[in-house]
Amino acid sequence: MSSNRILIYDTTLRDGTQGEGISFSVADKLRIAEKLDHFGIDYIEGGWPGSNPRDMAFFHEVRHLKLTHAKIAAFGSTRRAGIRAADDPQLKLLLEAETPVVTIFGKSWLLHVTEVLRTTPEENLAMIEDSVRFLCEAGREVIYDAEHFFDGYKDNPAYALQTLEAAARGGAVNLSLCDTNGGTMVDEVKHIVGAVVAQVGPKVGMHCHNDCGLGVAVSLVGVQAGAVLVQGTANGYGERTGNANLLTIIPNLLLKLGYEANCRPQLPKLRQLSLFVDELANLHADNHAPFVGVSAFAHKGGVHANAAHKVARSYEHIDPALVGNRQRVLISDMSGRSSVVMKARELGVELEAGSPALKDLIEEIKKLEFQGYEYEAADASFQLLIAKALEKHREFFGFEGYRVIVERRGPNEPVISEATVKLRIGDELRHTVAESNGPIGALDKALRLALEPIFPQLKEILLRDYKVRILESQQGAGARVRVLVETADGEELFGTVGAGENIIEASWQALKDALEFKLLRDEQRKAKG
């Protein structure tokens, strides 16, 4: 292996699942393993055999996957003190997992040896060497995780190095240095890794946590100091504040530091991988995540947006496409002419920079945002504003009125909401009534009952998400609210927004915009043939 090529070890399915709120089914873990393999990850740690039935089921099922590159690793610990490795039940379970790779951890810090394991320093060294040798002789490739290595090294450098030498004598192919508590500073890691590489040679790895917000930084400096393998998790999942984020480490290694990895050809799928894992974890994606977040290449200030449009690298450190992302222009009361023109072009609408319509549109945006509207995640509402400013919008239905009643008919009865909607479509007045368990659901049903007989394409769209944010919370129950609605029609997801002092009215605006946008977009597509 070239000294410039770094091996990538993913522990999302084991260390990542120790994060609060993270839980994967066996099927989830298998799908993630396939995705990581396709991406070009070298090692995929699947779990700890014997710790729970789910991990055992995963190791049984993963044998049937047709992985093209990655090696599956089972994780466990060294043998217990005072017994032979061949008699240790946990090491036997590691072999029963039938993975080509086994990763085991052992103690590097004398504090843990004497106070946690309650054994002698000499026995701890024997536990490490015996366990690694036992697994290697059984035909496994063994990676040794030196737990609490940096704390142990700072306490007693000579003993910490002896633990690595014991693992090396046993046959470990890599000695991964763990910053288990996540508390080591960047300069300390650089110095210690350099000293270790000088002592044990170029088969060192990094396994870092993010408790000081430095998980990525210390992983990278460890590689620069001579480590050839780096561990982490997708999206930084993990216990406490998480593990080092592999999806930040990888592009930094490849695009910034000049290293190579087997996953380089798949780098344009980095954002897709991030979203895939978030989806299976049932978590919202981190919009502000480096490289892969939806906001990573978003420009809001007019000067920034204009400059980035003219020369992307003036405000973007890489081409977003390299990691599967894209440049975005955000519309707000900070927006100037260039921002609005660029955003309109992004949405497929040409606006003349010097047109009176553009000036009026900017003034309207600033007025509405002052009232609580926000268009950064509401492209559909913004497109309706553009259409109205350019006089390219027609009224599909006229609003006559609505009424919402919330009623509970007894102490043990459920709450019932009823909505009445009056709309005018051409010369016809449509008056509909609907019930639901909530007022917004009732309003949405009544609105659809009025429109779907005339516009059957509205049956295609589904409400996917509904968010309410309280504005000016010091006003208490009288505070203004902003409602963001996300709607899907089978082809795309689009956002609409409403705002006001009344949550029903704000919701009405967002719901109405969603249906109106669907009708306008379909009409425009039909006109284009």
Q: Check whether residue 199 and residue 66 sit in a common domain.
A: yes
Q: Write out the H or E segment, with its range, that includes residue 232.
A: strand 229-232
- Domain endpoint, select from 253, 280, 307: 280
Q: Which of 280, 312, 331 is the last residue of a domain?
A: 280
**Residue 47's Cα: distance from chain center in Å?**
21
pTM: 0.72
Within this chain, do residues 272 and 310 fall inside the same structural domain, yes or no? no
User: Residue 2: its pLDDT value, please?
Assistant: 45
The answer to whether the beta carbons of residues 291 and 298 sit under 8 Å apart is: no
- DSSP H or E run through 95: helix 89-96
| Residues 58 and 150 both lie in one domain | yes
The Cα–Cα gap between 65 and 62 comes to 5
Same domain (yes/no): 317, 230: no
Q: Are residues 235 and 304 in the same domain?
A: no
pLDDT score recorded for residue 122: 97
Which residues make beta-bridge pairs with 18? none
Dihedral sign computed on CA atoms, order 88, 52, 182, 99: positive
pLDDT at position 338, please?
A: 61
Extract long-range pairs of 389-393: CB within 8 Å, 24+ residues apart. 389/357, 389/358, 389/360, 389/361, 389/364, 390/349, 390/351, 390/357, 391/357, 393/520
What is the domain count for the chain? 2
Other residues' Cβ atoms within 10 Å of the Cβ of residue 396: 17
> Do residue 189 and residue 305 come from a single domain?
no
For residues 8 and 470, give the distance between their C-alpha atoms in angstroms, rounded to a whole number: 43
Strand partners, 467: 484
Q: Are residues 194 and 303 in the same domain?
A: no
CATH for 88: 3.20.20.70
By CB atoms closer than 10 A (0-12, 13-18, 19+), residue 413 is exposed
Q: What is the pLDDT of residue 389?
A: 78
Q: Are residues 190 and 64 in the same domain?
A: yes
Angle at 159 (CA atoms; ends 156, 161), nearest 5 degrees: 105
Q: How long, in residues, is the chain?
A: 529
Q: Judge contact between 43 and 8, C-beta under 8 A.
A: yes
Pairing of strands 493-500, 415-425: unpaired
The answer to the question of residue 244 being in a domain is yes
Residue 222 lies in a domain: yes
Contact 76, 91 (CB under 8 A): yes
State the pLDDT at residue 1. Answer: 41
The tens-digit pLDDT sequence of the chain (529 residues) is 446 999 999 999 999 999 998 999 998 999 999 999 999 999 999 999 988 888 999 999 999 999 999 999 999 999 999 999 999 999 999 999 999 999 999 999 999 999 999 999 999 999 999 999 999 999 999 999 999 999 999 999 999 999 999 999 999 999 999 999 999 999 999 999 999 999 999 899 999 999 999 999 999 999 999 999 999 999 999 999 999 999 999 999 999 999 999 999 999 999 989 988 988 887 878 889 999 997 888 776 554 545 555 555 566 788 898 999 877 666 554 455 566 766 666 656 666 666 777 777 777 777 777 777 777 667 888 888 888 877 777 789 999 999 999 998 888 888 999 999 999 998 899 999 999 989 999 999 999 999 999 999 999 888 888 888 887 666 666 678 889 888 888 767 788 989 988 999 999 999 999 999 899 888 878 877 6
- Token representation of residue 187: 């300069």
Question: How many C-beta atoms surround the C-beta of residue 65 within 10 A?
Answer: 14
In this structure, is residue 148 part of a structural domain?
A: yes
Q: Which of 322, 351, 370 is the C-terminal boundary of a domain?
A: 370
Instruction: State residue 468's pLDDT score.
Output: 86
Does residue 383 lie in a domain region? Answer: no
Domain that holds residue 326: 298-370
Same structural domain for residues 302 and 230?
no
Alpha carbons 435 and 508: distance in angstroms, whole number: 16
- Quick one: tokens of 462? 């589904």
366 and 249 in a common domain: no
For residues 320 and 292, give the distance between their C-alpha atoms in angstroms, rounded to a whole number.
9
Q: Let me know the angle formed at the C-alpha of 197 by 11 and 215, rounded to the nearest 5 degrees.
A: 35
Task: For residues 236 and 113, state if they share a domain.
Answer: yes
Strand-pair partners of 486: 465, 495
- Report whether 370 contacts 332 (CB < 8 A): no
Q: How many CA atoms lie within 13 A of 168 on its CB side?
A: 17
299 strand-pairing partners: 329
pLDDT at residue 520 in the model: 86
Whether residues 191 and 157 fall in one domain: yes
Q: How many CB atoms lie within 10 A of CB 314?
A: 11
